[in-house]
Chain A
Amino acid sequence: MVSADPQPFLTMQGIVKVFPGARALDGVDLEIVPGEVHCLLGQNGAGKSTLIKVLAGAHQPTEGRILLDGEPITIADPVAALRHGVATMYQELDVVDGLTVAENVFLGHELATLGFSQRREAVRRTRELLRRLGHPEVSPRQEVGALSAAGKQIVSMARALSHDARVIVMDEPSAVLDSEEVANLFRVVRELTSAGVAVVYISHRLEEIREIGNRITVLKDGRTVAHNLPVSGTPTTELIRLMTGRSVEYAFPPSSGPGPEAPVVLDVQGLSLRGVFRDVGLEVRAGEIVGLAGLVGSGRSEILETVYGARRPSAGVVRVDGRRLRPGSVAAAVGVGIGLAPEERKSQGLLLDEPVYRNVTLSTFARFARGGLLDERAERAAAQEQAISLHLRPPGVDRPIRTLSGGNQQKAMLARWLVHGCRVLLLDEPTRGVDVGARAEIYALVRRLADAGAAVVVVSSEIPEVLGLADRVLVVSEGRVVHEGPAESIDEHQVLDMVMEGSVA
């Protein structure tokens, strides 16, 4: 795909970006040649998103130059970026819930003649884009708010494709996608690159980089530590060492599993949610990690949310330590020690303008309080302790959580339930957007919690993660549990087969 001696058409040189209190970029270089997939690697908070926001015109660089076809350019705003042929899919989904799919795709560059919007044309072109993305079933006239996170990601992708771009920047597009969706995404990426479009691809999943990438630039602490490494020929261990500055054990912690005597903590029977899933049974013992595998949209997240009381089941009971929970009451669930780390942290989990520590103690501040009086000192201390043990970067807990990188926001979400201390921990995509090093830490942590007697349920789109982390696996397809068994006795392909079969049947 990449020609013999390709010349970069887009170059970023010595980019520095200073935020009040943080030097996010400290001299970064990036060279992009036509038709390549250029991977941007780096730990959480390394500055990847900041760099691409500079390229997208969303941030102005403090220092540095951007050259397009050898000419220095300034990218004053996102419109200018698009004019220069740079289209961006942001890490945090940026779709408008109240608008339709087609309206979102053409947001900001509406098709219009003489001021009359050409809705039908927009719908037609959107349908075409969705078909290209492998999603003819999504209707252009549907409201985006009703779509799942993956659906929104697809809309965001369609928007990027709707521009005549020379380079499309994708900031962790696969984080909300399951393996089938990722395959779709890669097909589109290959189409783009063979047409000469360059793709800048950010992901924490190194196996994806192997599959799709041509060259790699690695960022660390806001600096470029390696340029234009060829993907083939750079071992994974080397990449990890470049990113983290150390070698990380990229492995799952050994499972001790629940003892034979371990009591059942979470007991779910006949749980149904009309139109989404039916008759789900689930028993989790103290010390056990149960994984739910399945496609996005199979009802996995809804199962967790229903167990948690965030949705009212149409049938079924949930018991914790033998006590039956009031259905549809989160407060009751939290009261008996269930914690949920939701899938969409921004809309479901965080108070973006509040400091980190208040986000961490959102479900526990009342416990720290005495007679209704807050004890912020104790809250800070508890949050700080978790921040250190989770290697939150930057580790200060007083800054607004908005200013943390995506992966670090995810860690803060986990910290909330660590402070809470849970009998039952429900984790929906716990490592979404989390870097290699922190992933290993999170795995170890979840195992430690289980060993300390918690019952853990994990939902993940990454099947290897489910299989590696869990003691027992439930495969969910089309709202039904189609398989249940020990994690060792099944492999990724079998899970995929079951998932697909279920969705065909």
Chain B
Amino acid sequence: MNEQKLSADARQAGPGAAGPPGGEHKDTARRVGIPSGTAGRNLGLIVALVALAVVGCVTAGSRFASLDNLMVILSLASVIGVVSIGMTFVITGGGIDLSVGSVLGLASVWATTLATQTMADQYGWVVMAVCALAVGLGAGLVNGVLVAYGRVVAFIATLATMVAARGLAELIANRRTQIVDVDSFTDTFRGDLLGVPKIVWIFVAVAVAGWFLLNRTTFGRRTVAVGGNPEAARLAGIKVRRHTMYLYALAGLAAGIAGVMMLARTTAGSSTNGTLYELDAIAAVVVGGTLLAGGRGTIVGTVLGVLIFATLTNLFIQNNLDSSVQAVAKGAIIIVAVLLQQRLTARSTTG
């Protein structure tokens, strides 16, 4: 009886199955389809995260396994996390953005100049926040226009922005650290809400919004299409260039938001803020399971990737280990994750 059912199922899903599609068939497709793959990958990341946590508990005991330390890890993850959410969109859309770290730095500097802070004293913290976001968005738009309309290779265009934005930040700050002394800003962004640091809440909000945008909106669908096969997307009537520009603008905006968070965390605008964040973000995105070639992206994966790296960093600090060793470990994780990813994709495509 059971066997009969099985073979009927196989025939349904098999080639040339005529007749109307049964519910049975849909089940089969679900079982082999994309969702299970993504879920599987995320499960792997969660296992890795749990493993790191166990190692932390064993080696550092209560120093690691405390609520305070958890908040430290989450705060650490928040700034880079927001940058990574933006990066997820660019990479899913088939691009890359090397400028996000510098743009974060520039935003943090611009939002803390004497002029901005004086205005903020008068009109409130909004001035600083809007300034940082506008700088991020503006830099992102420059990238987007260069890549989408100027047809400069993304790697080069954003590399140029990365160098230029860092330089501009140095010019503006005159290589000095600019302390935030607008009380309304620190009151708004520092401290906890319901026992959790406010910047963590911002990360949560950005991640949820990013997930929604990528998975539930036409914007997200276009992103996947543009990254998966730009020619097919174009011939289907999608405005590929305009969308590509939006993606870079979005990554810039995320870097601007991260700039505000950075100011909240360190209370200082500095041209060195966000150095090398672009690489950390790319690593988190790729480890999370987004295809570097574009066409497939996962926000949940990115969040897990960011948490893994943040936990790893914390683990090393708690154990007083050398940060060079930590760099080696990070490198190893990236390689292992990408190798695993290739295995998984190879299996799902060749069957």
Contacts and interface: CB of A to CB of B under 8 A. Distances in A.
Interface of A: 19-24, 26, 43, 45-47, 58-59, 220-222, 308, 310, 330-331, 333-335, 340, 342, 347-355, 358, 362-363, 365-366, 369, 372-374, 384, 387-388, 391, 393-400, 402-403, 405, 416
7 tightest A-B contacts by CB?
Answer: A334-B237, A21-B32, A395-B21, A221-B16, A363-B236, A396-B29, A20-B32
Contacts of A366: 218
A397 B238 CA distance: 22
A347 B234 CA distance: 12
Interface residues of B, number: 45
A416 B236 contact: yes
B323 interface: no
Given A398-B30, A402-B349, A362 B233 contact: yes
Nearest to A351: B228
A46 B16 CA distance: 6
A354 to B, nearest CB: 6
A222 B218 CA distance: 39
With most chain B CB atoms within 10 A of its CB, the pick from A333, A352, A405 is: A352
With most chain B CB atoms within 10 A of its CB, the pick from A22, A310, A384 is: A22
B225 A362 contact: yes
A393 to B, nearest CB: 5
B15 interface: yes
B235 A331 contact: no
A464 B348 CA distance: 40
Contact of B34 (A21, A353, A369): A353
B312 interface: no
17 contacts: A21-B31, A221-B14, A310-B234, A310-B235, A330-B235, A352-B228, A354-B34, A355-B34, A369-B218, A373-B216, A373-B218, A374-B217, A387-B21, A388-B20, A394-B25, A394-B29, A399-B29
A334 B238 CA distance: 9
Given A59-B351, A330-B234, 10 more contacts: A22-B13, A22-B28, A24-B15, A334-B237, A351-B229, A351-B232, A394-B15, A394-B17, A396-B13, A403-B351
Interface string B206-238: 000000000011111100110011011111111
Interface string B20-51: 11000110111111100000000000000000
Contact of B237 (A19, A21, A331, A358): A331
B295 interface: yes
B18 interface: yes
A369 B215 CA distance: 13
A306 to B, nearest CB: 13
Contacts of B228: 351-354
B122 interface: no
A395 B20 contact: yes
Contacts of B232: 347-351, 362
Contacts of B239: 331
Contacts of B224: 351, 354
B37 to A, nearest CB: 10
A112 B335 CA distance: 33
B225 A351 contact: yes
B295 A353 contact: yes
Contacts of B4: none
A351 B229 CA distance: 6
Contacts of B17: 221, 393-395
Interface of B: 10-18, 20-21, 25-26, 28-34, 216-221, 224-225, 228-229, 231-239, 295-296, 348-351
A37 B232 CA distance: 37
With most chain B CB atoms within 10 A of its CB, the pick from A330, A365, A398 is: A398
Nearest to A47: B15
A47 B219 CA distance: 37
Given A21-B32, A351-B224, A402-B349, A43 B218 contact: no
A347 B231 contact: yes
Given A20-B32, A21-B31, A405-B15, A330 B237 contact: yes
Nearest to B15: A45
A20 B28 CA distance: 9
A471 B259 CA distance: 64
Contacts of A21: 13, 28-29, 31-32
Contact of A46 (B15, B21, B218): B15
Nearest to A220: B16
A405 to B, nearest CB: 7
Nearest to B21: A395
A372 B217 contact: yes
B33 A355 contact: yes
A413 B151 CA distance: 29
Contacts of A308: 235
A23 B13 contact: yes
Given A348-B231, A351-B229, A353-B34, A394 B14 contact: yes
Given A221-B14, A331-B237, A363-B236, A396 B21 contact: yes
A204 to B, nearest CB: 14
A330 B239 CA distance: 8
A331 B241 CA distance: 12
B229 A398 contact: no
B351 A374 contact: no
Contact of A347 (B25, B229, B233): B229
Nearest to B221: A365
A310 B12 CA distance: 40
Contacts of A372: 217-219
Contacts of B12: 394
Contact of A23 (B10, B219, B295): B10
Nearest to A396: B29
A468 to B, nearest CB: 26
Contacts of B216: 373-374
A393 B25 CA distance: 11
A384 B217 contact: no
Contacts of A348: 231-232, 235
Nearest to B14: A23
Contacts of B34: 353-355, 400
B235 A222 contact: no
